[in-house]
Chain A
Amino acid sequence: MFDRDEDVLDRVIDQLRQPVEMDPTLDTAIMTRVAAGGDRVGRLAAVWEWAWRPREISVSPLAGLGLAAALVGIVVWLAGRNPRVGPPVAGPSTVQFVVVAPGAASVSLVGDFNDWDGAATPMHAARSGALWSVTVPLTPGRYRYAFLVNGSRWVADPAAPRVPDDFDAPSSVVTVGG
């Protein structure tokens, strides 16, 4: 078995000692490619290698604190250049209106916020049928309103202040701050 391996080795050595036939244009082609971009590729590779090469940096505690403070200062300055928080703008608040109207077929919320239109804001009855409610968005201000029961009977909100009435029918008032 040892003799067979030696034979194989000798044949490989003989094969390697044979002269290699080279393409006569190979040298020219290689030199052309090197002249075209070899330097640039080499520089980029060097920079890449430099950037990824780990190294030790010595920084004193005071200098470290200074760098950290500088970073924080830059972040704060950048945030201040384009503030996202403007002056507070009062948006609508959600207000729930509730009234007890047992046996009513329909109840509507009618007031300054819906042009006193009896069809604009129908209220919804709870399962028992006595408790009617609706939720509406209101911008800051003071609103007069009333409940319209069965399309004909005006009812003030017992849970809200009453307002002096100009029209012989009760009204309440709700104030939304802002």
Chain B
Amino acid sequence: MHASRWIATLPLAVGLLALHPTTAAAQDPRLERRLDSATLQSVSAVIDSARLQGLPVEALVQRALEGAAKHAAPAQIAAAVRRLAMELATARQALGPASSPAELDAAASALRAGVGPADLTRLRHRRAQSLTVALATLADLVASGVPPDSAAAAVIALAASAGDDQIADFRRAVERDIALGAPPAVAAAVRVDAALRQTPGTPRRP
């Protein structure tokens, strides 16, 4: 079932990649001020397509502005925006159409870090509250060196009952342990077990 869902995102991904610059419609004035005309057309086409798909576009605008601020090459900016659009599309496919822009943005970061879409879907099914902090924690743990599978297992285990504050505390504890020399996977495993012990009634880590 999951495979068919990921296959369903392919047309969108192909569409985003194949968009011709002349398809761009309304252009964001912030982009008009900061990008040259060729880059502006290319980026606006991706943004327009994402908007048509119902994806949040502010993250795309910000990624283009980041590239402009860092004086990146036009092709680099366009590629970064295109890649983020595809990650947002995959994130929405994994999390569902009701996902908030903040959740999709965090999920795109997790995907970029190496977390699989199936783990995002498991996280959605496991947690009733907003996923923004849980997804951001997932991405941050992988960026800290925790293997994606270990990070996903830990966050999914916490997700059912832990609040955002507890999940953020868990991330800080893991990062502190890693900074003190602990192997990232071990730090995540030890800290999630400790966190689960502090949350009565929480099922053990899968």
Contacts and interface: CB of A to CB of B under 8 A. Distances in A.
Contact of B143 (A148, A154, A162, A175): A162
Interface in B83-128: 83, 101-102, 105-106, 109, 112-113
Interface residues of A, number: 25
B112 A164 contact: yes
Overall SS of chain B's interface: helix
Contacts of B113: 164
A142 B104 CA distance: 10
B69 A110 contact: yes
Interface string A142-178: 1010001000001000000111101111010101011
B66 A173 contact: no
A110 B133 CA distance: 22
A140 B66 contact: no
Contacts of A141: 101-102, 105, 132
B144 interface: yes
B19 interface: no
B76 A142 contact: no
B132 A178 contact: yes
B69 A118 contact: yes
B65 A175 contact: no
Contacts of B168: 175, 177
A27 interface: no
B39 to A, nearest CB: 13
Nearest to B62: A112
A142 B58 CA distance: 12
B144 A161 contact: yes
A161 B140 contact: yes
A157 to B, nearest CB: 13
Interface in B117-158: 130, 132-133, 136-137, 139-140, 143-144
Contacts of B79: 166
Contacts of A164: 112-113, 143
A154 B70 contact: yes
9 tightest CB-CB pairs across the interface, nearest first? A166-B80, A175-B136, A116-B69, A177-B164, A167-B72, A161-B140, A116-B65, A141-B102, A167-B70
6 contacts: A112-B62, A116-B62, A116-B65, A167-B80, A169-B70, A178-B130
Given A161-B144, A178-B102, 19 more contacts: A110-B69, A112-B66, A118-B69, A142-B102, A161-B139, A161-B143, A166-B67, A166-B76, A167-B66, A167-B77, A167-B80, A169-B70, A171-B66, A173-B109, A175-B136, A175-B137, A177-B133, A177-B165, A178-B164
